[in-house]
Amino acid sequence: MQFHQLAYFVAVAEERHFTRAAERMRVAQPSLSQQIRALEHDLGAPLFHRIRGNVSLTEAGETLLPIARRILADTESAQRAIRELDELDRGRVRLGAPPSLCTGLLPPMLAAFRRRYPGIQLELHESGSRDLRQRLSEGALDLALLAGARTTPDPGLAATPLLLEELVLIAAAGTPVPATRLAIADLAEVPLVMFRRGYDVREATVNACRAAGFEPSFAIEGGEMDAVLELVHAGVGAAVVPSTVAGHRFATTRFAPETGMTRVVQLAVRTDVDPTRAVRALRDAITESVVDPAHLPAGVRSLVDG
């Protein structure tokens, strides 16, 4: 009994037709029939009734069918398991993340992952969350860290909330800042260095100001994360940024809790694609890294149950 013979047998049993089974298995019909006869000879019993073109299972065939299906399924599972082992040695994962996470929380996570799985090739794609959602939906990414006020997944995506992160106001060192926590109204007279469109922090800041009844004032807009930090450092204006990128070279003020100036960081995957073992390994590593509050900086709270 050979593996391909069982595959041919199951195809005939399901198609109830030798020619259609041969087309399904992409072999010549005489060759398939010959292999079925050889299987019947080895088993010592006919597997099919062949009457005027009609094909049906004999009692022996009915007995063999569930066993053959199980053997084929187990073989496929074994092949998949071996391929997945190889993926941990030579796999590739395309990860998307906002610039604020690329300069803050993500580097130590990826460093730990590389030490554990040095054979997996990582591709990091840095962009705003809106862009990352689009690229993930299009299949250009395997995983994406998304940040924003939304906690519900987009259609076609499954998102796991990881972190709740405070947003803070930063200004050049030496700039007078309020001693107490900021209200949104305090931003009305503050010229802001503003991110380009597509950044979740831009949307959160502008929406909060408009909800408070005013339009924010921009000293300059359109920058990426590094540019915004350098412009603030140079004294061009203040900026609302995630707490993890504020660092020690800025005057930093936190918002009052009632302002709701926070963002949720989620880990998203597509729902219509089974992730490879390499992708699952990175997903699990990122999730596990945020469980322990001791490993998280000030202003960040884990949303993952330990």
Q: Same structural domain for residues 42 and 149? A: no
Is there a single domain that holds both residue 63 and residue 140?
no
AA identity, residue 296: L
pLDDT of residue 81: 66
Residue 6 has pLDDT above 80, yes or no: yes
Give me the pLDDT at residue 41, please: 93
Q: Are residues 188 and 268 in the same domain?
A: yes
Per-residue pLDDT band for 87 (boundaries 50, 70, 90) equals low
**CATH number for 214:** 3.40.190.290
CA 219 distance to own-chain centroid? 35
pLDDT average, residue stretch 20-34: 93
160 shares its domain with 238: yes
Query: Do 184 and 259 have their domain in common?
Result: yes
**pLDDT at residue 52 greater than cutoff 90:** no
pLDDT tens, residue by residue, 88-118: 777 789 999 998 888 878 888 899 999 998 9
Distance CA 288, CA 282 (A): 10
Whether residue 51 sits in one domain with residue 36: yes
Last residue of a domain, one of 74, 89, 104: 89
Question: How confident is residue 79, by pLDDT bands cut at 50, 70 and 90?
Answer: confident
What per-residue confidence (pLDDT) applies to 285? 92
pTM of the model: 0.67
| Boundary (domain end) residue, out of 89, 124, 143 | 89
Q: In the chain, which ranges are continuous DSSP H helix?
A: 3-15, 18-25, 29-43, 59-90, 99-102, 106-116, 129-137, 200-211, 225-233, 277-289
pLDDT at 304: 87
DSSP conformation class of 215: P
CA 5 distance to own-chain centroid? 40
Q: What are phi and psi of 278, to 5 degrees?
A: -65, -40
Last residue of a domain, one of 89, 110, 132: 89
Same domain assignment for residues 30 and 176? no
Residues 153 and 293 in one domain: yes
Q: Are residues 242 and 199 in the same domain?
A: yes
Q: What's the chain's average pLDDT? A: 88
Supply the range of the domain harboring residue 281: 95-306
- 127 and 63 together in one domain: no
Which residue, chain included where needed, has tokens 């005057």?
251
- Asked whether the beta carbons of 265 and 144 are under 8 A apart, the reply is no
**Same domain assignment for residues 177 and 207:** yes
Say how far residue 145 (Cα) sits from the centre of its chain. 7
The larger pLDDT score, comparing residue 51 to residue 184, is at: 184
Statement to judge: residues 141 and 155 lie in one domain: yes
240: tokens are 């609302």
The continuous run of DSSP H or E covering 246 comes out as none
Contact 93, 122 (CB under 8 A): yes
How many domains does the chain divide into?
Answer: 2
